Amino acid sequence: MMGEEFVALSLTPMLIGTLAAIACALPGNFLLLRRQALIGDAISHVVLPGIVVAFLITGVIAAVPMMLGAASAAVVAVVMIEAIRRLGRIEPGAAMGVTFTAMFAGGVLLLEQSDTSAVHLDVEHALFGNLESLIWLDATGWASLLDVEALAYLPVELPRLLIVLSVVVLFIWVFWRPLKLSTFDESFAQSMGIRTGPLGFALVIVAALAAVAAFDAVGSIIVIAMFICPPAAARLMTNHLGTQVAWSVLFATLSAVIGYVLAGYGPLWLGADNAVSAAGMIAAVSGAILALTAIVGPHRSRSGAPAEE
Amino acid sequence: MLWQALTLQLGYNATLVTLGATLLGVAAGVTGTFLFLRKRALVSDAISHATLPGVGLAFILMVAMGGDGRSLLGLMLGSAASAWIGLLCISALTRRTRLAEDAAIGAVLSVFFGIGIVFLTFIQTMSEGRQAGLEGFLLGSTAGMLYSDAVIIAVGGATVLLAVTAFRRPLSAVAFDPEFAASSGLNVPRLDLIMMGLVMAITVVGLKIVGLILIVALLIIPPVTARFWSERVTGVLWVAGIFGGVSGYLGAALSAIAPALPTGPVIVLVSFAMFALSLLFAPARGVLAAVLKHLSFQRRVHVRQGLLALAQGQPIYEKLTLRLLRRAGLVRADGVATSDGKARAAKALRDETRWQMARSREEFALAATFYDGLTEIETVLTGDQINELDRLIGAPKGVRP
């Protein structure tokens, strides 16, 4: 790997993948402990109709309207799941299933019906993302990192994800104690005067924000994988929330970097000519990490409780 | 065109696909009901996503063995194998680690799908892979389907439906009450396995029609819809089967009339439309029924309170109360009670007094739990008990000079 080629072709996609993975894994820790892990799955499905509607209204593929569309679709989905659950007295899993399949189907149908052949918007792109295309053509080597002119042409996804990641980190840092309390003992948190309802909703919104930003850059498959696999693997490593979050960040980073390298160079090592999907490979690596911790993780089984049969 | 599609006159293949989708819809609705009642609806989402690596690997293997790799039967076998592995992973994760089932579902779903995508991108670089059309398995595509594929889908749909019919009794017993089913001699773990096997069969047959991302809708939406129409397991099973069949039939027929109407999403949206209508208009559990029930309750409270006010000679200011009493002919336009109103008011006051006495006496404690300010006491107590209450209250007496 020569520095020149690496900085131009691999550094930015790798960074973007890592940032997206961490941004999703952080809120994923809390969603996992709150038994809401599949919210990430639901959100990443409903983002598609949001983006399609935003495109149909504005007629352009631009970041801001698409982010707004995706975010409002996520809010619509959360409200709809709650409405179905309350009005129909349906269990949450089924309510979620009804909502995200219907919205995703609507998104696909809209996409097929509208003329999007001129722009880069299709279902496959939404699912797999296009991490490999986020290259930094103006870079000529490591020195470019100090070159203001070249830095101006960084892929826009990089600063955008950086901002979203800071928002996520800030949210978790500011609300660490209330989040921790309400996750482990909701009624105790309430007795301490923490408003657990709005806090839970805020967590879902932050997760949606991370999902939307990551989705734009890397596709929905990484989003779902990163919401669940690194936190789940981290959960099997430790009993402390702080340590779990740290492990999940490490696992997310490892998945992104190893996955990207394997996708880009693995086939070449095996003698094939072309790279495979980086998004798919990153998800696969995160699964391998989870499998490893499930076999040898120090806290893999329920402590003190008999194994469930 | 639409009429022809609905009456199955769009050619042999389209007819076979529509019939297959209908049979599959019925089978999925019924099987989905078992899943739904066992609160495991989203397991099917993981199973369907876990089929993708199998599809890709089967294609690669078939090409490696010298075929063209597009044999639907071979791809279906591959998808079944990898779905089964996915299912094993879920049960291993939930049983052997402390992760909850939802985390296991999400992990298997995303990881298997990711591996599948890796295979798909690899296939695209193979010379045989350019026209493989494996992307059709993501969202389903029935356009330009081979005759042999259509036959496989129709036969597959019929087979799954037969299997579901054969196992419906023990499966519904387990779904309704697993502990009771176990105590009456049913092998619950094995029946759960059969249920998952059926889910897998539906997924595999539905891959080509609905696509693996949306097949889960066929298993979830009809049972949830049916839950609005029946409180009994058999009822929900029947209704879910019918809804599933209708959405399969309508969806496949509608999508046959235009190329830009992909089959999977259309079937799901037809199904969702029926769900939305049921949510709003179902007779007992629907939103409209709930609103009507609430309104009628509100009216009864207003009339009752209005009558009590009349009986005690208090003026009524509440507009809704006045309007309701006037409409029932109990008060005149100026707010004075009619003779009918006076009689009803006296009755309401007597009722209320009797209730107050009943609630203050220990021997009526059970009956007093029925008190809600609306129920007439005659519907709760016998004539003798009411006489006893009246004796306790005491008759009106004159004042001695």
Distance of CA B181 to the CA centre of its chain: 23
- A93 within 8 A of B42, measured Cβ to Cβ: yes
- Average pLDDT of chain B? 86
Please check the confidence at residue A121 and state whether its pLDDT lies above 70.
Answer: no
For residue B271, give how far its alpha carbon lies from the nearest alpha carbon of chain A (Å).
9
Please check the confidence at residue B68 and state whether its pLDDT lies above 90.
Answer: no
Smallest Cα–Cα separation from A227: which of A255, A202, A199? A255
The kind and range of the H/E element at B36 are helix B12-37
**Which chain B residue is nearest to residue A124, measuring alpha carbons?**
B135
Please check the confidence at residue A1 and state whether its pLDDT lies above 80.
Answer: no
Rounded mean pLDDT of B98-104?
Answer: 89
Return the pLDDT at B128.
Answer: 64
Instruction: Name every chain A residue with its beta carbon within 8 A of the beta carbon of B110.
Output: 41, 221, 224-225, 228-229, 283, 286-287
Q: CB B95 to CB A308 under 8 A?
A: yes
Q: CB A88 to CB B95 under 8 A?
A: no
Instruction: Name every chain A residue with its beta carbon within 8 A of the beta carbon of B91.
Output: none
Smallest Cα–Cα separation from B261: which of A143, A112, A142, A261? A112
Instruction: Name every chain A residue with its beta carbon within 8 A of the beta carbon of B116.
Output: 280
Instruction: Name every chain A residue with its beta carbon within 8 A of the beta carbon of B272.
Output: 98, 101-102, 105
| Between B128 and B194, residue with greater pLDDT | B194
Query: Which member of B109, B114, B227 has the closest CB to residue A280?
Result: B114
Q: Could you tell me the pLDDT band of residue A3, with boundaries at 50, 70 and 90?
A: low
Tens of pLDDT, residues B120-154? 888 887 766 565 677 778 877 776 677 888 888 88
Q: Determine the CATH number of domain B2-263.
A: 1.10.3470.10
**DSSP 8-state secondary structure symbol assigned to residue B377:** G
Distance CA B200, CA B216 (A): 11
Rounded mean pLDDT of B35-63?
Answer: 89
Looking at mean pLDDT, say which of A6-20, A261-275, B50-64 comes out highest.
B50-64
Distance CA A24, CA A206 (A): 9
> Judging by beta carbons within 10 Å of its beta carbon (0-12, 13-18, 19+), is residue B176 exposed, middle or buried?
middle
Looking at residue A42, its amino acid is A
Rounded mean pLDDT of A262-279?
Answer: 79
Return the pLDDT at A284.
Answer: 93
Distance of CA A80 to the CA centre of its chain: 22
For residue B6, give how far its alpha carbon lies from the nearest alpha carbon of chain A (Å).
20
Q: Which domain holds residue A197?
A: 3-296
Return the pLDDT at B379.
Answer: 82
CA atoms within 13 A of residue A248's CA, in its CB half-sphere: 32
> Judging by beta carbons within 10 Å of its beta carbon (0-12, 13-18, 19+), is residue B317 exposed, middle or buried?
exposed
**Cβ–Cβ contacts within 10 Å for residue A176, how many?**
13
Instruction: Name every chain B residue with its beta carbon within 8 A of the beta carbon of A37.
Output: 100, 102-103, 105-106
Query: Which member of B45, B113, B214 has the closest CB to residue A105?
Result: B214
Return the pLDDT at B86.
Answer: 94
Would you kindly state where each structural domain of chain B is located, as residue ranges? 2-263, 288-393
Return the pLDDT at B385.
Answer: 85
Please check the confidence at residue A252 and state whether its pLDDT lies above 80.
Answer: yes
Q: What is the CATH number of the domain that holds A47?
A: 1.10.3470.10
| Between A244 and B355, residue with greater pLDDT | A244
**Cβ–Cβ contacts within 10 Å for residue B316, how many?**
17
The ipTM is: 0.89
Please check the confidence at residue A253 and state whether its pLDDT lies above 60.
Answer: yes
Q: Which two tokens stand for residue B373?
A: 């300010």
Instruction: Name every chain A residue with its beta carbon within 8 A of the beta carbon of B103.
Output: 32, 37, 228, 232
Instruction: Name every chain A residue with its beta carbon within 8 A of the beta carbon of B247.
Output: none
Return the pLDDT at A306.
Answer: 46
The kind and range of the H/E element at B35 are helix B12-37
Domains in chain A: how many in total? Answer: 1
| Between B385 and B395, residue with greater pLDDT | B385
CA atoms within 13 A of residue A114's CA, in its CB half-sphere: 23
Distance CA B39, CA B60 (A): 37
Q: Could you tell me the sign of the dihedral formed by the alpha carbons of A99, A102, A105, A110, in that order?
A: negative
> Out of A235-249, A266-280, B131-145, B284-298, which region has the weakest mean confidence (pLDDT)?
B131-145
Which of B36, B39, B117 to mutate to probe the A interface, most A CBs <10 Å? Answer: B117
Distance CA B132, CA B113 (A): 18
Query: Which member of A91, A98, A228 has the closest CB to residue B110?
Result: A228
Rounded mean pLDDT of B300-320?
Answer: 87
- A280 within 8 A of A221, measured Cβ to Cβ: yes
Distance CA B18, CA B142 (A): 10
Return the pLDDT at A29.
Answer: 93
Query: Which member of B45, B111, B125 has the closest CB to residue A287?
Result: B111
Distance CA B79, CA B137 (A): 10
Q: Could you tell me the pLDDT band of residue A63, with boundaries at 50, 70 and 90?
A: confident
**Cβ–Cβ contacts within 10 Å for residue A236, how many?**
23
Instruction: Name every chain B residue with its beta carbon within 8 A of the beta carbon of A102.
Output: 217, 221, 268-269, 272, 275
Return the pLDDT at B131.
Answer: 59
Query: Which member of A36, A104, A275 has the closest CB to residue B214?
Result: A104
Q: Could you tell me the pLDDT band of residue A308, with boundaries at 50, 70 and 90?
A: very low
| Between B68 and B155, residue with greater pLDDT | B155
Rounded mean pLDDT of A222-242?
Answer: 91
Rounded mean pLDDT of A179-192?
Answer: 87
Query: Which member of B135, B272, B279 has the closest CB to residue A87?
Result: B279
Q: Could you tell me the pLDDT band of residue A196, with boundaries at 50, 70 and 90?
A: confident
SS (H, E, C) B337-376: ECHHHHHHHHHHHHHHHHHHHHHHCHHHHHHHCCCCCCCC
Q: Could you tell me the pLDDT band of residue A117, with boundaries at 50, 70 and 90?
A: low
Note whether residue A99 is domain-resident.
Answer: yes
Tens of pLDDT, residues B235-245? 899 999 999 99
Q: CB A37 to CB B106 under 8 A?
A: yes
SS (H, E, C) chain A: CCHHHHHHHHHHHHHHHHHHHHHHHHHHHHHHHCCCCCHHHHHHHHHHHHHHHHHHHHCCCCHHHHHHHHHHHHHHHHHHHHHHHHHHCCCHHHHHHHHHHHHHHHHHHHHHHCCCCCCCCCHHHHHHCCHHHCCCCCCCCHHHHHCHHHHCCCCCHHHHHHHHHHHHHHHHHHCHHHHHHHHHCHHHHHHCCCCHHHHHHHHHHHHHHHHHHHHHHHCHHHHHHHHHHHHHHHHCCCCCHHHHHHHHHHHHHHHHHHHHHHHHHHHHHCCCCCCCCHHHHHHHHHHHHHHHHHHHCCCCCCCCCCCCC
For residue A227, give how far its alpha carbon lies from the nearest alpha carbon of chain B (Å).
9
A·B CB contacts under 8 A: 209
Q: Which two tokens stand for residue B396?
A: 């009106």
Return the pLDDT at A2.
Answer: 55
Which of B49, B93, B99, B275 to mutate to probe the A interface, most A CBs <10 Å? Answer: B99
> Out of B81-90, B209-218, B240-249, which region has the weakest mean confidence (pLDDT)?
B209-218
Instruction: Name every chain B residue with its beta carbon within 8 A of the beta carbon of A98.
Output: 217, 220-221, 224, 272, 275
Q: CB A274 to CB B125 under 8 A?
A: yes
> Out of A63-67, A103-107, A137-141, B383-387, which region has the weakest mean confidence (pLDDT)?
A137-141
Q: Which two tokens stand for residue B158?
A: 């019929």
Note whether residue A307 is domain-resident.
Answer: no
Distance CA B387, CA B112 (A): 74
Return the pLDDT at A307.
Answer: 45
Looking at residue A78, its amino acid is V
- B48 within 8 A of B216, measured Cβ to Cβ: yes
Query: Which member of A105, A228, A294 has the closest CB to residue B217?
Result: A105
